Chain A
Amino acid sequence: MAKRALTVDDSKTMRDMVAFTLKGAGFDVLEAEDGVHALSVVKGQKVDVVITDINMPNMDGVTLVRELRAKAEFKSTPILILTTEGGDDKKASGKAAGATGWIVKPFAPDKLLSVVNKVCP
């Protein structure tokens, strides 16, 4: 069965790019516009990797990571946060909330794939 990814970003451009890249690598891709939306999207869904932006309305990425980690079914799901260059404090707060790793924006499609492969069994 194809692996399933969830991309969470309030920017459609970014969601599109992530989704397109991952679909090309054989993933099923779910999309959500913000943290709150993401939590409703994943209900009853098995997700193999989550890629989330940090700055989003309604619920930001760090909170989303914490919320997901608190769920039994997401305890061991790799979660990647999207940060911009130099966002060390963001990386740290993301890690503290339970993120597995990060992707630095802007990213090339193959960079995204290599990071996803790095954390996704």
Chain B
Amino acid sequence: MSNDGTSGSDFERFRITFFEECNEILADLEVHLTQLQEEALDNEGLNAVFRAAHSIKAGAGAFGFTDLVNFTHSFEALLDKMRDGEIDQTPQVADLLVRGGDVLAELVSAAQENRSVAPDFGAEVLAQVHDLLGSGQKPKDATAGPGAQQASSISGMGSWTIRLTPNVDLFKNATEPLLLIRELREMGSLKVTCDRSQLPPLRKLDPELAYFSWRFELESECSRENIEEVFEFVDDTCEIVIEQATSSEEEAKSPEAPAKDAPVQPQVSSPEKNVETKESAPAGKKAKAAAASSIRVELGRIDRLVNTVGELVITQAMLAQELADLTADNERQPIAGQEELANLTRELQECVMAIRMQPVKSVFARMPRLVRDLSGKLGKKINLRMSGEHTEVDKTIIEELADPLTHMIRNSIDHGLETPAERVAAGKPEEGTIDLSAAHVGGNIVISISDDGAGINRERVLAIAIDKGIVQPDAHLSDQEIDELIFAPGFSTAEEVTDISGRGVGMDVVRRNIVSLGGRIQVQSQPGYGTRLNMLIPLTLAVLDGMIVAVGNQRYILPITSIVESFRPSPSQMRRLDDWTQVVQIRGEFIRIVRLCDLFNVENATHDPTQGLVVLTEVAGGGKIGITVDELIGQQQIVIKSLNDNFDPVPGISGATILGNGKVALILDIEQLAGMKATVPLPHQDDGPKEVDAPVAIVAAE
């Protein structure tokens, strides 16, 4: 037998499993606790909550997270009483459980990050739990299990006499007395006498019953506790008498008939305790069958896989380029293989990316609770409607979404929705509505939060912005520009920092979070009708389906998902609005032209769209723009390399990639391009390209 315990790396592995499990349990707990606030939980629900606390406690004990063990211990005790119907599911208890769930989550994350919490953290909740449990249930240190043995009294070599008389049904518990005897033998020198007097005649013998009893004489250094421990599991199914004899007494006594006045400590309990077993869990059919077909993989491994596949994609593209050059005027044979490779690489990459995708449900699921909490605190009636919870997005992004989303919802409730009285006065239903939705739009996920509240109070926003020096007092801003001020750094409506929207985190932080994910956020507001916040976030941070386009000698990448079509306009389709703005007419629609050659000051580019191409692209915020390019080079899967480490944000550029020929190409940011104003006036009609003072050329360094 090897009991060398677990080595460090195994321990770490268990730890990781434990925390993964904890987080699943906590998410589950959240669902049940949210439900609890609306209606009393049935037995199954209560059991589920109980098990959540119980599982965390068991694991936490194994890893020595004392805070966590102590808290879950009390939490569990409370749930146990609720299960037994001793404590009713009142709103107060529900509230306590919800707060307890929060404490639990914090303790878990503290343990996971190896940081300690304030000593009195959760004390208030704990105190209330103990109040409910009654004063008889003082918090006891649940960590001090029998594993932390009481120091056993070592008493030197001693002689012990032990009598073991089993009940006849000893074997019903699959107890094997031989094992107990062996265990005793390991403790010292042992002499065993078997009493077979109770053995019935053969025809009356029931082979499943126990008839023998034993008498042991043990010479050992062990303590009484050590011996009792041997019989730990049979002390209710056997009569056990343990006596310690001094050597002189031992000689005096007849071994067959121990004196009645000997220091006997019978460890006897009634053979039939007849304990009522509690049916605690009705066999519900709601098995977690769905979870059974999944496997847990450490995120680090997936990241490594994603990176490797990313490199593979680049290498494949390079190979394709070289092959194309080689075989340009030769036979087509090698190209067939290359196409196969390209398909496989692509498929592999899609598979790998799909591994990281998760439904946004996990983040959305936290919102009903938030809304309910705030609705209570602020006395506003709120109906939260959610849609598109199953929309999938990269796991990294999901994790980063929770905070901004929480803050935006808080904002909508705190600043957006009016009180019931105000709403009634405005002729609206008493109950405000918040819509939370997620959807795929192109290569992005769009998450919208809209409320039917009062809309942004532009006068006040402007006044605050002027007051804080964010805008000049004489500035003329459009409504949209005023609305956007809520995202300005330093714009925090400080006069009303409540504990709802407050804590010093403003919408600027929300925007920064979103932008750091490669996304953006927009606000649309209509006074009296409500406000809508759109978050636009890429599905993944790693790859992009791109169209390589040429402008002069530069190559740029357009996200393929935003491209509608490309065409060469005839001169009759082109219109000028003024010296800066040009539109193209297509199927009765006028689309604004964005001239890349001017915007980025690219040399040797085709300046006349009718000689080049216009790529019609959809802007995620709504609308379309036409981007002028010289020609389309081809479609390719692009591995995104961030520029943020080396450059300040460049307007209109979201990143870079390495092309098959080893050159760097910049990835265009359609939404930013749509918002950029021309820096160069349009050339006069029929004039050639005009030399103008343009900003520093933005071209890719090779």
B274 in contact (CB, < 8 A): yes
A23 to B294, CA, bound (A): 23
Q: Shortest beta-carbon distance, B655 to chain A, in Å?
A: 39
A77 in contact (CB, < 8 A): yes
Q: Shortest beta-carbon distance, A54 to chain B, in Å?
A: 8
Chain B 36-71 near chain A by CB (<8 Å), digits 1 or 0 = 000000000001101100110111011000000000
In-complex Cβ contact of A24 among B4, B171, B286 (8 A): B4
CB-CB < 8 A to B143: which residues of A?
106
Q: Shortest beta-carbon distance, A94 to chain B, in Å?
A: 8
Count residues of chain B with CB under 8 A from any CB of chain A.
Answer: 60
Q: List 20 A-B contacts (CB under 8 A).
A: A13-B55, A36-B283, A36-B287, A55-B280, A57-B288, A76-B171, A84-B54, A84-B58, A92-B273, A93-B278, A95-B173, A95-B233, A97-B277, A98-B174, A100-B174, A106-B58, A107-B62, A118-B233, A121-B176, A121-B179
B244 in contact (CB, < 8 A): no
CB-CB < 8 A to B13: which residues of A?
16
Q: Shortest beta-carbon distance, A62 to chain B, in Å?
A: 5
CB-CB < 8 A to A14: which residues of B?
55, 58-59, 62
Name the 8 nearest CB pairs between A and B, nearest first: A106-B61, A101-B233, A110-B3, A93-B277, A85-B145, A13-B18, A11-B55, A106-B62
A58 to B174, CA, bound (A): 25
CB-CB < 8 A to A59: which residues of B?
281, 283
CB-CB < 8 A to A60: which residues of B?
280-281
Tell me the chain B residues, 1-46 only, with Cβ under 8 Å from chain A. 1-6, 10, 13-14, 17-18, 21
The residue of chain A having its C-beta at the shortest distance from the C-beta of B142 within the complex is A85
Q: Please determine whether A96 and B274 come into contact, CB atoms closer than 8 angstroms.
A: yes
CB-CB < 8 A to A66: which residues of B?
277
A11-B59, A57-B51, A78-B175 known, 19 other contacts, Cβ within 8 Å: A10-B51, A20-B10, A21-B6, A53-B58, A56-B281, A59-B281, A78-B174, A84-B58, A93-B276, A93-B277, A96-B275, A97-B277, A105-B61, A107-B62, A109-B3, A109-B5, A113-B3, A119-B176, A119-B233
Q: Shortest beta-carbon distance, A30 to chain B, in Å?
A: 15
A101 to B276, CA, bound (A): 18
The residue of chain A having its C-beta at the shortest distance from the C-beta of B172 within the complex is A98
Most chain B beta carbons < 10 A, residue from A37, A66, A85: A85
Report the number of A-B residue pairs with Cβ-Cβ less than 8 Å. 171
Q: Shortest beta-carbon distance, B70 to chain A, in Å?
A: 12
Q: Shortest beta-carbon distance, A104 to chain B, in Å?
A: 5
CB-CB < 8 A to A86: which residues of B?
140
B113 in contact (CB, < 8 A): no
The residue of chain A having its C-beta at the shortest distance from the C-beta of B54 within the complex is A55
CB-CB < 8 A to A107: which residues of B?
62, 145, 147
CB-CB < 8 A to A33: which residues of B?
288
Q: Please determine whether A119 and B14 come into contact, CB atoms closer than 8 angstroms.
A: no
CB-CB < 8 A to B173: which residues of A?
95, 98-100
Q: Please determine whether B10 and A25 come into contact, CB atoms closer than 8 angstroms.
A: no
Q: Please determine whether B55 and A10 come into contact, CB atoms closer than 8 angstroms.
A: yes
The residue of chain B having its C-beta at the shortest distance from the C-beta of A24 within the complex is B2
The residue of chain B having its C-beta at the shortest distance from the C-beta of A79 within the complex is B174
Q: What does DSSP make chain B's interface, helix, strand, loop or mixed?
A: loop
A10 to B312, CA, bound (A): 40
CB-CB < 8 A to B225: which residues of A?
none
CB-CB < 8 A to B236: which residues of A?
92, 95
Q: Shortest beta-carbon distance, A95 to chain B, in Å?
A: 6
A45 in contact (CB, < 8 A): no
Chain A interface (Cβ < 8 Å from any Cβ of B):
10-14, 16-17, 20-21, 24-26, 33-37, 53, 55-60, 62-63, 66, 69, 75-79, 82, 84-86, 89, 92-93, 95-102, 104-111, 113-114, 117-121
Q: Please determine whether A76 and B4 come into contact, CB atoms closer than 8 angstroms.
A: no
B427 in contact (CB, < 8 A): no
Q: Please determine whether A13 and B14 come into contact, CB atoms closer than 8 angstroms.
A: yes
In-complex Cβ contact of B3 among A75, A101, A114 (8 A): A114
A53 to B2, CA, bound (A): 24
Q: Shortest beta-carbon distance, A34 to chain B, in Å?
A: 8
A75 to B10, CA, bound (A): 35
Instruction: Decide: A89 near B172, CB < 8 A? Known: A10-B55, A13-B21, A109-B5.
Output: no
In-complex Cβ contact of A25 among B2, B48, B59, B285 (8 A): B2
Q: Shortest beta-carbon distance, B77 to chain A, in Å?
A: 10
CB-CB < 8 A to B283: which residues of A?
35-36, 58-59, 63
CB-CB < 8 A to A109: which residues of B?
3, 5-6
Q: Please determine whether A119 and B179 come into contact, CB atoms closer than 8 angstroms.
A: yes
A79 to B175, CA, bound (A): 9
